[in-house]
Amino acid sequence: MSDAAFEAFEPFVLGANEFLITSHVDPDGDAVGSSLGLRAALQDLGKTAEVVLESPLPEALAFLPGAETIRRPAEVTKQYGAAFLLDSSSADRAGQVLSRCLTPDARVAVIDHHWGNDGYGHVRLVNPEASATAELVYDLIELLRVPISPEIAECLYTGILSDTGGFRYANTSSRTLRVAARLVEHGARASRVAEALYATKTGPSLRILGLALASLEARSGGRIGAMTISLEMFEKAGAKPEDADGIVQYAKALAGARVGMLVQEVAKDEIRASLRSDGSVDVNQVASEFGGGGHRNAAGLRVRGGLGQVREDLIRALERAMNGASPSS
Ligand code: 5GP
Ligand code: MN
């Protein structure tokens, strides 16, 4: 990639010695993998870089090289004059990190692949064609001519594997696979990452999966697979919201469903919902009606309200979107 916007990253990186790196709340494999991969690359350039995330690290990502160095905003004692915001369509997706940990005149570089990116940041690399932010961080590391270490490779490979659902989603392009292959050549252990993301589950995450599966309803004549997790179910499973990551794919797996939906009560009157589409419904559009966002086929939102009420409101909004969209679109 050679556009001027991208090249502005070189002076941005060379112009500071200490960087804060952050990403979105409820971090997934791309948020954490691209953050830790970039951190390792900046360190290889002789810089200091600290990854700060608003939400706790999901257990399943603790295997990533450098995961133990990730800090929460309250643990950060200094203010940074330069920061990277990754995989986030707006500054508020990082929670309080940017407002708490930056100097007032700090410069922020944004690397993201969401369609709805709002234009925030002084230096920007935003490409919705990329499968994952990790794919863009790979491009940046190449631009900076930092050799891809096994550590960098494994972090970025995890981001790509995670955001393509294990190379299954429509965002998996030939380029995605070529970058993934390069990362394996540089030391990413493909089987190790797949094992961690897809074949290792904690007791609480398996128990909450069982309860969520039992809640499955076929709604709208089977066009929507809907799952619901109440606070009581989290308690019964001994699980936390991050233990429910990925469960929405089972709602989407219901044969005949065009949309899978998981609605969770993460705290009293605080609802988080995940939406997944087969491509015929733009769930990013539906999520944005509720103040959320994401991608056409995978989006999420957080709202205040009761669990049942939010679920019914979402089903009505999805029905409107399905009735507006042609089945083949
Ligand atoms: P998930 O359902 O796995 O939490 O998120 C799916 C996608 O939607 C991800 O790209 C995620 O970043 C995005 N997303 C989830 N929740 C929100 C939200 O509240 N606001 C915005 N803008 N995007 C979200
Ligand atoms: Mn992503």
As a whole number, the mean pLDDT across the chain is: 95
Q: Are residues 250 and 192 in the same domain?
A: no
Domain hosting 41: range is: 3-199
Predicted TM-score of the model (pTM): 0.92
The whole-number average pLDDT for the span 7-33 is 97
DSSP element (H, E) containing 108: strand 102-112
The whole-number average pLDDT for the span 124-134 is 97
User: What is the band of 6 on the pLDDT scale with cuts at 50, 70, 90?
Assistant: confident
Residue 142 has pLDDT above 90, yes or no: yes
Check residue 98 and give its pLDDT: 98
- Whether 328 is covered by a domain: the verdict is no
- Which numbered atom of ligand 1 lies nearest the CA of 284? 8
One-letter identity of residue 176? T
Nearest by Cα to 201 from 29, 59, 55:
59
Q: Are residues 47 and 63 in the same domain?
A: yes
Residue 1 has pLDDT above 50, yes or no: no
The last residue of one of the domains, among 153, 173, 199, is 199
Give every CB contact of residue 68 below 8 A, 6+ residues apart in sequence.
62
- Please tell me the total count of domains within the chain: 2
Check residue 328 and give its pLDDT: 40
CATH number for the domain spanning 219: value is 3.10.310.30
Å from CA of 211 to ligand 1 middle: 23
Residue 326 has pLDDT above 70, yes or no: no
- Whether 327 is covered by a domain: the verdict is no
The per-residue b/e assignment along 137-160, b for 16 or more CB within 10 angstroms, e otherwise, is bbbbbebeebebbebbbbbbbbbb
Å from CA of 118 to ligand 2 middle: 15
Gap between the Cα atoms of 232 and 94, Å rounded: 28
Percent of the chain exceeding pLDDT 90 equals: 94
Instruction: Kindly state if the Cβ of 300 falls inside 6 Å of ligand 1.
Output: yes
The last residue of one of the domains, among 199, 215, 244, is 199
Instruction: Kindly state if the Cβ of 294 falls inside 6 Å of ligand 1.
Output: yes
Instruction: Kindly state if the Cβ of 298 falls inside 6 Å of ligand 1.
Output: yes
Gap between the Cα atoms of 164 and 158, Å rounded: 10
Q: Are residues 178 and 226 in the same domain?
A: no
Instruction: Kindly state if the Cβ of 296 falls inside 6 Å of ligand 1.
Output: no
Give residue-wise pLDDT tens across range 170-195.
999 999 999 999 999 999 999 999 99
The whole-number average pLDDT for the span 126-133 is 96
What are phi and psi for residue 293, nearest 5 degrees? 180, -160
Q: Name the residue with the closest Cα to ligand 1, atom 21.
A: 293
Q: Are residues 94 and 235 in the same domain?
A: no
Q: Are residues 118 and 229 in the same domain?
A: no
Q: Are residues 72 and 138 in the same domain?
A: yes
Q: Are residues 170 and 288 in the same domain?
A: no
The SS3 call for residue 81 is strand
Gap between the Cα atoms of 16 and 315, Å rounded: 48
**What are the C-alpha distances in Å from 207 to residues 120, 227, 240?**
40, 15, 11
- Whether 124 is covered by a domain: the verdict is yes
The whole-number average pLDDT for the span 127-156 is 97
The last residue of one of the domains, among 170, 199, 228, is 199
The per-residue b/e assignment along 304-313, b for 16 or more CB within 10 angstroms, e otherwise, is eeebeebbeb
Ligand sitting nearest the alpha carbon of 300: 1
CATH number for the domain spanning 112: value is 3.90.1640.10
For the chain, the distance separating the N- and C-terminal CA atoms, rounded to the nearest angstrom, is 31
Q: What is the DSSP letter of 117?
A: -
Gap between the Cα atoms of 296 and 298, Å rounded: 6
Give residue-wise pLDDT tens across range 241-252.
989 999 999 999
Q: Are residues 138 and 228 in the same domain?
A: no
Give residue-wise pLDDT tens across range 195-223.
999 999 999 999 999 999 999 999 999 99
The structure tokens listed for 138 are: 């790979």
Check residue 222 and give its pLDDT: 98
Check residue 18 and give its pLDDT: 98
Check residue 3 and give its pLDDT: 65
Residue 38 has pLDDT above 70, yes or no: yes
The per-residue b/e assignment along 38-53, b for 16 or more CB within 10 angstroms, e otherwise, is bbbbbbbeebebbbbb
The whole-number average pLDDT for the span 127-150 is 97
Q: Are residues 32 and 120 in the same domain?
A: yes
Gap between the Cα atoms of 163 and 144, Å rounded: 24
- Whether 329 is covered by a domain: the verdict is no
Gap between the Cα atoms of 291 and 98, Å rounded: 20
Q: Are residues 193 and 208 in the same domain?
A: no
Check residue 61 and give its pLDDT: 96
